[in-house]
Structure 1
Amino acid sequence: MNGTSDAARPGVAPPAGSRHHVTMVDTAALRAAYDAQMRMPPGAVPSGVTHEHDGPILRIVGGHEGRIRAPRDVGVTGAELDRLIARQRDYFQARGQSVEWKVRAHDRPADLPERLVAAGFVPSEPTAVLIGSAAEVAAGPVLPDGVVLRRVSEVEDLRRIGDQQTEVWGFDCSWVADDLIARMSADPGQITVLVAEAGTRLVCTAWAVYHPGTDFVALLGGTTTPDWRGRGLYHAMIAARAREAVARGFRLLHVDAGPASAPILRRCGFQEITTSTHYRWTPPG
């Protein structure tokens, strides 16, 4: 369903032995597939969101903040690049919104990060861009006693996910619920949202976004409440989402992973292909 046969697709060779054993990984091929397929959001646009092109970049408007997505090589340099950056900043300043521009370590031109900083954008800590083979990771999730894994789509459950993420991260994540609701409204077939519950409490939440016409599923949101960490919940969420990806005919899994989740993903056979940094501009005042 995703364009080419498995034999023709780049990246991870067929699994041999243990499902966590990755053979003949071609990191360059994985990076090339990622650059070709994962730079621009495909599929249905969430309700209330618009996509606007400004030269080489895509401006995503209507979410809790603006987002800029670009090809690996923006294709402009020097003063022209400075003007492109300034237009995005000024556009969202007029809206009274923050905006983030996602840059990978191998992006071009090489001075894009310093030009973003000169325009007032502030970098986040880099995250690891990891790619895994869905077939190697897919498995029945193993859960602690008393925990139930459930697929959700109702607004009430999606609001509870926003509340759980707010509790864990210590800042307002209500926008997460709004984003999930909008995605569900646009096309419920392009997203799977999972919760792990201990009684009535959400102890882990995660979702997967399917990229039609590509090999990729993006694994997003994986968040475990602190007192339930170290019990395999995040790993169970990876396995469950990978199994669904395989069932839908997708081959590769993508995660922008922070320092807590990256080691777990690497143990599952995910390979780091680059790093990703969000450069954020926030209106003054």
Structure 2
Amino acid sequence: MTSTDPAALLAAYDAQLRREAEVPSALSCTEVGPLLLATYVGGRGFITYRTLEVDGRPATAESVHDLVEAVLEHYRAQPEVLKVEWKTRGHDRAPGLHEALVGSGFEPEEAESVMVGDAALLAGDVELPEGVTVRQVREETEVRAMLAMQAEVFEEDPDDARAHDEELLHRLRTRDDLELWVAEVDGQVVSAGRLEPVEGTEFAGVWGGATRPEFRGRGIYRALTAARARSAIRHGKRFIHSDSTEFSRPILERSGLLKVTTTTPYLWKR
């Protein structure tokens, strides 16, 4: 496989990065037909799958509707679960999925581009503006400062941000498959993101990239991404993947990563 073949990269993405690879820090997982339903600290549910086929039969609008109903039945029986994300991909065969999800109370969020490519394309040295430093953070106070900046930039709902923070901190305390990186100016976090090497695969994910508006356009996010890519290579990972907004997609494209599909989260809240 080459890093310039979108079809091969998409096939690797589907084979290596879906289902179990997406839920390493879940408290519990339950199979419902082809779906894997995960539950996390903080009251979050998450649905992942490689296909919507049931018992080898192609998906139909009726079978997809039945899966959505089964998912809601599962999570409604868990009052501690407050929010559920169904992660869709644009290239999946999913007849009637949008209609079934919206009809059951899920709301679509903004679509993002799934970017995949060789980590070496991102790992080159990037000159930082004067006064900017990039480093990995581990202490809880540093992590909370990073998360507060991201929540502010992304304009997150405060309750959602608190739940996300506790989930991430729990993962840091209990696992070693997550790195948090920041760019700082005079001790203030101005850009941040995380690296997630995926065990048993060729991939590492770059996630949560956020930069304060007044510091954009200076190469800071690109430098932060390069630092994460170099770390991924040290972990023995060949490829980087990222679900990218329209802010980060062009940066990754200019470095040589390819858009292989789209992903749209659908959210249900109790």
TM-score for the superposition, normalised by structure 2: 0.89
CA gap of 1:32–1:44, structure 2 versus 1, over 3 A, is: closer
Deviations, residues 186-230 of structure 1 (Å, cap 9, x unaligned)? 322x11111111112100111110111111111001110111111
Contact kept, 8 Å, 2:203 with 2:238, in 1: the verdict is yes
Divergent runs of 4+, >6 A: none
Residues in 2 aligned to 1:121 and 1:101: alpha-carbon distance in whole angstroms: 8
SS at match of 2:201: coil
2:214 is equivalent to residue 227 of structure 1: yes
Contact kept, 8 Å, 1:92 with 1:98, in 2: the verdict is no
Post-superposition shift, 1:74?
4.0
Post-superposition shift, 1:30?
0.5
Question: Which residue of structure 2 aligns with residue 60 of structure 1?
Answer: 38
- Among 16, 19, 38, the residue aligned to 1:40: 19
2:171 is equivalent to residue 186 of structure 1: no
CA gap of 1:256–1:84, structure 2 versus 1, over 3 A, is: same
Post-superposition shift, 1:237?
1.3
CA gap of 1:11–1:115, structure 2 versus 1, over 3 A, is: farther
Question: Which residue of structure 2 aligns with residue 17 of structure 1?
Answer: none
Question: Which residue of structure 2 aligns with residue 4 of structure 1?
Answer: none
- Among 97, 106, 109, the residue aligned to 1:121: 106
Mapping of residues 127-276 of structure 1, within 5 Å: 127-171=112-156, 172=158, 173-188=161-176, 190-276=177-263
Residues in 2 aligned to 1:166 and 1:43: alpha-carbon distance in whole angstroms: 22
CA gap of 1:27–1:45, structure 2 versus 1, over 3 A, is: closer
- Counterpart of 1:174 in structure 2: which amino acid? R
SS at match of 1:138: coil
Contact kept, 8 Å, 2:121 with 2:257, in 1: the verdict is no
Structure 1: gaps spanning 5 or more residues: 1-9, 13-24
Question: Which residue of structure 2 aligns with residue 5 of structure 1?
Answer: none
CA gap of 1:44–1:261, structure 2 versus 1, over 3 A, is: closer
CA gap of 1:148–1:176, structure 2 versus 1, over 3 A, is: farther
- Among 11, 15, 30, the residue aligned to 2:2: 11
Identity %: 35
Question: Which residue of structure 1 aligns with residue 74 of structure 2?
Answer: 91
Residues in 1 aligned to 2:52 and 2:7: alpha-carbon distance in whole angstroms: 16
Deviations, residues 149-200 of structure 1 (Å, cap 9, x unaligned)? 1111111111112211122122322334323212222322x11111111112
Contact kept, 8 Å, 1:158 with 1:180, in 2: the verdict is no
Residues in 1 aligned to 2:19 and 2:126: alpha-carbon distance in whole angstroms: 31
2:85 is equivalent to residue 106 of structure 1: no
Contact kept, 8 Å, 2:118 with 2:240, in 1: the verdict is yes
Residues in 2 aligned to 1:29 and 1:147: alpha-carbon distance in whole angstroms: 38
Deviations, residues 106-153 of structure 1 (Å, cap 9, x unaligned)? 112333222222222211121111112101221234321111111111
Contact kept, 8 Å, 1:89 with 1:99, in 2: the verdict is no
SS at match of 1:42: helix
Task: State the number of aligned residues.
Answer: 260
Deviations, residues 6-54 of structure 1 (Å, cap 9, x unaligned)? xxxx231xxxxxxxxxxxx1111011000001112439843x7222222
